[in-house]
């Protein structure tokens, strides 16, 4: 039943429209029985769709809080077509679609051709990322997942601290499981598809649970960034709830508590020097890498910062109070604390590190600017190379025992340790000697529980304010380096008495065959 509006307004009736209502409206126009100014028939089955009947015409419209869009004449557009147009208007992306223009084109094309397919192609051309150039797609949308990841990484990576995390961050978003969806439009992704990705990550046997958590977590971050920063290109304007937040991986990192002994660390250095080549077909461990391993044990610095040490940041004879000592400095950009860090190095430790740098320099036209130069190219060794060296000494390849490779750690009774475990070793060693503050200063840690001689200030960073507290650091470094060097000499002497095992036979290879040149015609 129609409801009368105020003076000058349209009568209004809400009903599930059928073709019969359209026929009745035309009859009312023909007979001149349209009430008052006109009648609005509101479709109960399609949000916002209205058939407005006036004395001269029946017109489809879509009404919403943001405005009214004319769809077209009911004499040209059927009820089914009007509902389709109303839904397209609802889903139209602001800035990309102009529904008023597109509905006019649709009505004109339908009146001219009578073909709904041609009218839709003219007014609402389908977006097909595969037929667009990459430049067009990135400019106008719709973005595919690959476009979103590229844009997100371009925004995110400069914000990350240079080092291992920035290097590995991109790899998680380039994981093969996500790469398989790289040409899927962002708007077409759904919870079910990504739950399948998560399940495969957790069950493939090749991806650790911690890595799966990073892959899923960084996908969520990229989607949230696209939803907030690029909703038009991603076609996420109408997404009211971020469904991707329901993607989680239940994982909590365990706390490592392994503390390698001085003897184990020294024995590792002796073994690494003795077994520089672990097989007939393997290259010998480079001088820069061996120097980096020594530096990890002697200084306990984080490998991400340590491997970037430049020759120019090392100052020999920096203090008259510490003759023969060398100061090494790192800028705040590479330090976890974001503050510059300096470390005094005793003469014995510096002699070992410098010896390996000089060995590397002998094989170059000009010495590298890095304290730990890579054997390949002009850069420094990677922090990953230190972990890989320890893995090779343990006979591991990609975390698993490699056939035919001896586990030198097991042979020489060395418990497995990581570069970060050395930091616990130093802290424990100096803490037992009431030098916890020296350990905190050396390792760039903060410990507010110790006394003046054993602490660093949490906020003012006392050892920075007072010339980096080099005297406090030197006290701890002297004890630690002396213990390592003494243990190393003992371990090297013991190893020297053990004859080296015969090298494994070289693999038999097929003789090279010379290709015959084709005869000239």
d(CA 359, CA 380): 15
Residue (of 77, 88, 75) closest to 48 by Cα position? 88
Query: CB within 8 A of 371, min separation 6: which ones?
Result: 291, 295, 309, 310, 311, 314, 328, 353, 357, 380
The DSSP letter of residue 507 is: P
**Cβ–Cβ contacts within 10 Å for residue 409, how many?**
20
How confident is the model over 486-515, as a mean pLDDT? Answer: 78
Q: What is the pLDDT of residue 506?
A: 63
Query: CB within 8 A of 34, min separation 6: which ones?
Result: 28, 53, 54, 55
Q: What is the pLDDT of residue 65?
A: 85
pLDDT over 70 at 164, yes or no: no
Q: What is the pLDDT of residue 208?
A: 87
pLDDT over 60 at 521, yes or no: no
Q: What is the pLDDT of residue 462?
A: 34
Q: What is the pLDDT of residue 128?
A: 61
Q: What percent of the chain has pLDDT over 70?
A: 86
Architecture of domain 135-246: Orthogonal Bundle (1.10)
Give tens-digit pLDDT for 226-265: 999 999 889 888 788 899 999 999 887 666 678 899 999 9
Beta strands at 11-15 and 39-43: parallel, antiparallel or unpaired: parallel
Q: What is the pLDDT of residue 499?
A: 80
CB of 481 within 8 A of CB of 298?
Answer: yes
pLDDT over 60 at 348, yes or no: yes
Q: What is the pLDDT of residue 497?
A: 87
With b for 16 or more beta-carbon neighbours within 10 A and e for fewer, the 177-208 pattern comes to bbeebeeebbbebeeeebeebbeebbeeeebe
Q: What are the Cα distances from residue 277, in Å, to 273, 280, 415, 504?
A: 9, 8, 21, 12
pLDDT over 80 at 182, yes or no: yes
Distance of CA 48 to the CA centre of its chain: 43
Q: What percent of the chain has pLDDT over 90?
A: 56
Confidence of residue 278 (pLDDT cuts 50, 70, 90): low
Residue (of 351, 353, 329, 326) closest to 340 by Cα position? 329
d(CA 228, CA 237): 9
Q: What is the pLDDT of residue 3?
A: 58
Q: Which residue has the higher pLDDT, 176 or 464?
A: 176
Q: Which residue has the higher pLDDT, 8 or 131?
A: 131
CA dihedral 69, 74, 77, 80 (to 10 degrees): 90
Q: Kindly report the pTM of this predicted structure.
A: 0.60
Q: Which helix (H) or strand (E) holds 68?
A: strand 67-73
How confident is the model over 318-324, as a mean pLDDT? Answer: 89
Query: What backbone phi and psi angles, to 5 degrees, belong to 70?
Result: -75, 130
pLDDT over 50 at 36, yes or no: yes
Which range, 66-70, 283-287, 444-448, is most confident? Answer: 66-70
Domain locations in the chain?
11-123, 135-246, 262-496
Confidence of residue 132 (pLDDT cuts 50, 70, 90): confident
How confident is the model over 488-496, as a mean pLDDT? Answer: 93
Strand-pair partners of 73: 59
- Say yes or no: domain 262-496 is CATH 1.10.443.10: yes
Instruction: Write down the mean pLDDT value for the chain.
Output: 85
Which of 27-31, 340-344, 506-510 shows the lowest mean pLDDT across its residues? 506-510
Residue 421, CA atoms < 13 Å, CB-side half-sphere: 16
pLDDT over 50 at 463, yes or no: no
CA dihedral 493, 497, 500, 501 (to 10 degrees): -130
Give tens-digit pLDDT for 353-393: 999 999 999 988 888 999 999 988 889 999 889 999 999 99
How confident is the model over 167-193, as a mean pLDDT? Answer: 90
Domains 135-246 and 262-496 belong to one CATH topology: no
Give tens-digit pLDDT for 394-433: 998 877 788 888 899 999 999 999 999 999 999 999 999 9
Strand-pair partners of 343: 328
Q: What is the pLDDT of residue 89?
A: 87
Confidence of residue 451 (pLDDT cuts 50, 70, 90): very low
CB of 448 within 8 A of CB of 466?
Answer: no
């Amino acid at each position: 039943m129609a409801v009368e509006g105020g003076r000058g307004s349209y009568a209004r009736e809400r009903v599930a429209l059928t073709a019969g209502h359209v026929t009745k409206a035309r009859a009312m126009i023909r007979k001149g029985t349209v009430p008052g100014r006109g009648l609005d028939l509101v479709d109960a089955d399609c949000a916002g769709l209205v058939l407005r009947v006036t004395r001269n015409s029946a017109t489809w419209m879509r009404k919403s809080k943001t405005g009214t869009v004319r769809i077209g004449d009911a004499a040209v557009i059927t009820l089914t077509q009007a509902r389709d147009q109303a839904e397209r208007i609802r889903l139209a992306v602001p800035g990309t679609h102009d529904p008023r223009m597109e509905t006019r084109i649709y009505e004109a094309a339908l009146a001219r051709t009578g073909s709904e397919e041609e009218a839709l192609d003219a007014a609402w051309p389908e977006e097909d990322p595969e037929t667009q150039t990459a430049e067009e797609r990135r400019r106008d949308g719709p973005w595919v997942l690959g476009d979103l990841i590229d844009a997100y990484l371009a925004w995110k990576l400069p914000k990350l601290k240079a080092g291992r995390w920035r290097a590995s961050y991109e790899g998680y978003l380039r994981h093969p499981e996500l790469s398989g969806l790289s040409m899927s439009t962002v708007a077409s992704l759904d919870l079910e598809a990504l739950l399948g990705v998560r399940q495969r990550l957790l069950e493939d046997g090749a991806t650790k649970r911690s890595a799966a958590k990073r892959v899923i977590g960084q996908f969520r971050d990229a989607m949230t960034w696209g939803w907030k920063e690029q909703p038009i290109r991603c076609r996420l304007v109408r997404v009211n709830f971020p469904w991707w937040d329901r993607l989680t991986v239940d994982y909590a990192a365990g706390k490592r508590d392994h503390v390698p002994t001085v003897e184990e660390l020294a024995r590792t250095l002796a073994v690494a020097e003795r077994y520089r080549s672990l097989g007939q077909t393997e290259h010998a461990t480079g001088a820069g890498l061996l120097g980096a391993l020594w530096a990890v044990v002697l200084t306990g610095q984080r490998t991400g910062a340590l491997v970037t040490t430049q020759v120019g940041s090392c100052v020999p004879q920096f203090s008259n109070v510490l003759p023969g000592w060398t100061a090494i400095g790192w800028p705040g950009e590479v330090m976890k604390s974001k503050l510059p860090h300096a470390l005094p190095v005793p003469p014995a430790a510096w002699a070992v590190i410098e010896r390996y740098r000089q060995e590397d320099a002998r094989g170059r036209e000009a010495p590298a600017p890095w304290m730990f130069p890579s054997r390949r190219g002009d850069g420094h060794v990677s922090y990953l190379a230190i972990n890989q060296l320890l893995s090779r000494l343990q006979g591991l390849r990609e975390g698993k025992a490699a056939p035919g490779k001896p586990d030198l750690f097991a042979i020489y009774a060395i418990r497995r340790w990581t570069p970060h475990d050395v930091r616990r070793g130093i802290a424990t060693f100096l803490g037992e000697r009431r030098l916890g503050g020296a350990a905190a200063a050396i390792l760039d840690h903060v410990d507010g529980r110790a006394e003046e001689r054993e602490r660093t200030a949490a906020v003012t960073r006392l050892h920075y304010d007072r010339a980096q507290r080099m005297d406090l650091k030197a006290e701890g470094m002297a004890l630690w380096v002396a213990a390592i060097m003494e243990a190393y000499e003992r371990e090297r002497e013991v190893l020297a008495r053990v004859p080296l095992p015969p090298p494994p036979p070289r693999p038999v290879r097929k003789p090279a065959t010379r290709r015959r040149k084709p005869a000239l015609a």
